Amino acid sequence: MAKVWENEKLVCIKENDIQYIQFKKLLKYPQIKHCYTLKNLNFPPIYKDEKTLKNSYKKICDCLNLDENKIVKPHQTHTSNVEVVNEVINFQDVDGVLTNKEEIVLVTTSADCISLLMFDPVKKVIGSIHSGWRGTLQGIAKEAVLKMIEKYESNPEDIICCICPSIRSCHFEVDEDVKDLFYEKYKNLQQINNIIKKTKIKDGKQKYTIDTVLINICLLKKLGLKEENIIDSNICTVCNKNNFHSYRAEKENSGRNAAIISIKKES
């Protein structure tokens, strides 16, 4: 295992032919394991390439010393649905999973969508949340925190949320219809003028950029998460398409990155 690069927030690890990033904030807690994978692994939908998917799970689980038979990966459909996991089970139409059970491996996948890794070190609860633009529009990050409060009595001030690499406002360019959806939903946010910005006119249509990461940060802060506990990777998957799968850059040929988190079994 070797360190490829690091900054104040992240470290990139290489083990054999596998690379993944980890958040230094979460590495302070030895009771959990986590990572966000790079492009040399691919976690496609099972119906597209089951062999590649299983091979990637085996490789990353071997690296992190996780049990691939205890993976819980919901069938994501860009909802705001978040489920509590008490056993290995298949979830349909779910985009966020939470647990306080040891050894269960929570996984969500993405290719430009935002993945959120959550951890409450007091209540010992973890979460992996998929927040694409539709999930962000529906406020799935808020739903995840509210469920942590409801089901585990988490205090938002204790919750750590790490924002994995995703498409950023530099590349999330939309037409008026999508802009209007976000404006109507989030017009009361103090930072709305930083979230939605008018850009160029293309083919006679006005274009806009939307900062979905900033929306998630605003939602988390409003719920009571501390600023120092919201850690953004600051990596755009489109700008870094050579290192991360990006649907906007690669379209139907795009693979999927995985956001993985698990609680170790106490010895």
The whole-number pLDDT of residue 61 equals 97
3-class DSSP state of 27 = helix
For 110-166, the pLDDT digits (tens) are 999 999 999 999 999 999 999 999 999 999 999 999 999 999 999 999 999 999 999
pLDDT band at 2 (very low <50, low <70, confident <90, very high): confident
Q: How far is CA 220 from the centre of its chain?
A: 14
3-class DSSP state of 233 = coil
Residue 6, token pair as written in the block = 């690091």
CB atoms within 10 A of CB 46: 13
pLDDT at 253 over 90: no
User: What average pLDDT score do residues 66-75 get?
Assistant: 97
* Residues 216, 96: Cα–Cα separation, whole Å: 14
Q: Bridge partners of 163?
A: 116, 232
pLDDT band at 220 (very low <50, low <70, confident <90, very high): very high
3-class DSSP state of 59 = helix
User: What average pLDDT score do residues 14-28 get?
Assistant: 95
Q: Which residue has the higher pLDDT, 148 or 49?
A: 148
pLDDT above 70: percentage of residues in the chain: 100
Average per-residue pLDDT for the chain: 96
The whole-number pLDDT of residue 46 equals 80
pLDDT at 230 over 90: yes
User: What average pLDDT score do residues 240-262 get?
Assistant: 95
Q: In what order do the strands lie in the sheet with 205-210?
A: 173-174, 205-210, 196-202
Q: Which residue has the higher pLDDT, 45 or 69?
A: 69
Q: Bridge partners of 98?
A: 84, 127
Amino acid at 265: K
Q: Which residue has the higher pLDDT, 46 or 29?
A: 29
pLDDT band at 52 (very low <50, low <70, confident <90, very high): very high
The whole-number pLDDT of residue 194 equals 97
pLDDT at 267 over 80: no
Beta strands in 75-214 (DSSP E): 82-84, 96-99, 105-110, 114-120, 125-131, 160-163, 173-174, 196-202, 205-210
Cα dihedral sign for 85, 147, 131, 14? negative
The domains located in the chain, with CATH, are 2-168+226-263 (3.60.140.10)
Residues 53-60: contacts with CB within 8 Å, 24+ apart?
Answer: 56/258, 59/18, 60/18, 60/20, 60/35, 60/258, 60/260
Q: Bridge partners of 72?
A: 106
User: What average pLDDT score do residues 196-206 get?
Assistant: 92
pLDDT band at 222 (very low <50, low <70, confident <90, very high): very high
CA dihedral 46, 108, 40, 173 (to 10 degrees): 100
The whole-number pLDDT of residue 47 equals 78
* Residues 107, 219: Cα–Cα separation, whole Å: 22
User: What average pLDDT score do residues 19-37 get?
Assistant: 98
